[in-house]
């Protein structure tokens, strides 16, 4: 009995050791600024011309690939470090489309002289941590010379190129399927169900699928559907919300 009590005491003691420090250092909730567009120069380091150039690249990336790219400059990220602030801001704004998580965030922290690329979960296969780091390395000379607009422009250009040159067909699978419209979605679903039926020996389901292929192949070719936030892809003027995307912390940072 004594040994059991001692073991229980040791377990509880270890739990307290693990839990108390995290409670003690927990940062207070931070109210993030509301997004004003794809380019959010809260630090005031961009000229109108630089902001327009960066916004144009971001808008073209959305129109051609359906990827939301947000650029944010801040004076500081207190009480968080740059990486934590980027991760939390990404989720607070919901950059990228919901369920696709196809968003990108470029965060410039002026106080720490640090630049961060935060990658949505759905794009991590195309903009890897290593790729994000190489992109930042290309822009570092501009930031070190205090040419912040030029540095950000280099980054957004390279990110757009990375998305367009994704492996295989040069675009993410979800984007290729989406552009095929309802027919493409039906075909992918149909094939997936057949594979499921074969693997799990669901002969009844397989028989039904083979008898009723028209159920999955019906429907006409369609264009891009509606979406939440930003007025369905209209980027002119005003603020708004992104589409509800998430990041799992992928990306890279550099000091300059």
Q: CB burial class (10 A; 0-12, 13-18, 19+) of residue 133?
A: middle
| Pair (63, 137) in one structural domain | yes
Regarding beta strands 114-120 and 103-109, do their DSSP bridges make them parallel or antiparallel, or are they unpaired? antiparallel
Residue whose C-alpha is closest to residue 55's, from 163, 166, 175, 160: 160
Distance of CA 184 to the CA centre of its chain: 24
Is there a domain that residue 149 lies in? yes
What is the predicted pLDDT for the residue at 158?
98
Residue ranges of the chain whose pLDDT lies below 70: 1-28, 166-188, 190, 193, 197, 205-207, 209, 211-241, 243
| Pair (131, 203) in one structural domain | no
Provide CB contacts within 8 A for 241, sequence distance 6+: 35, 93, 94, 228, 229, 230
| Pair (117, 193) in one structural domain | no
Report the C-alpha gap between 86 and 77 in whole angstroms.
9
Distance of CA 194 to the CA centre of its chain: 32
| Pair (119, 149) in one structural domain | yes
| Pair (49, 125) in one structural domain | yes
Give yes or no for a contact between 108 and 237, defined as CB atoms under 8 angstroms apart. Answer: no
Residue 234 tokens, joined:
């209209």
What is the predicted pLDDT for the residue at 83?
98
What is the predicted pLDDT for the residue at 228?
37
What is the predicted pLDDT for the residue at 213?
58
* Domain end residue (candidates: 115, 135, 170): 170
Is there a domain that residue 113 lies in? yes
Looking at the structure of the chain, the number of domains it has is 2
What is the predicted pLDDT for the residue at 207?
66
| Pair (151, 189) in one structural domain | no
């Amino acid at each position: 009995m004594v040994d059991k009590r001692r073991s229980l005491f040791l377990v509880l003691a270890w739990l307290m050791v693990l839990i108390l420090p995290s409670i003690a250092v927990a940062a207070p909730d931070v109210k993030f600024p509301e997004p004003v567009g794809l380019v959010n120069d809260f630090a005031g380091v961009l000229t109108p011309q630089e902001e327009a150039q960066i916004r144009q690249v971001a808008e073209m990336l959305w129109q051609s690939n359906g990827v939301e790219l947000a650029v944010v400059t801040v004076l500081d990220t207190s009480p968080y470090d740059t990486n934590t602030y980027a991760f939390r801001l990404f989720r607070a704004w919901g950059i990228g489309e919901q369920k696709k998580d196809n968003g990108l965030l470029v965060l410039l922290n002026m106080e720490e002289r640090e630049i961060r690329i935060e990658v949505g979960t759905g794009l991590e296969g195309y903009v890897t941590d290593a790729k994000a780091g190489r992109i930042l390395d290309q822009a570092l000379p501009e930031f070190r010379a205090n040419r912040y607009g030029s540095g950000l422009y280099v980054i957004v250009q390279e990110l757009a190129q990375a998305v367009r040159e994704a492996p295989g067909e040069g675009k993410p699978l979800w984007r290729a399927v989406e552009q095929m419209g309802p027919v493409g979605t039906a075909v992918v679903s149909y094939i997936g169900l057949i594979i499921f039926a074969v693997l799990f020996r669901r002969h009844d389901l397989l028989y039904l699928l083979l008898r009723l292929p028209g159920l999955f192949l019906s429907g006409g070719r369609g264009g891009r559907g509606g979406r939440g936030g930003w007025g369905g892809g209209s980027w002119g003027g005003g603020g708004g919300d992104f589409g509800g995307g998430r990041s799992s912390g992928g990306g890279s940072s550099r000091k300059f």
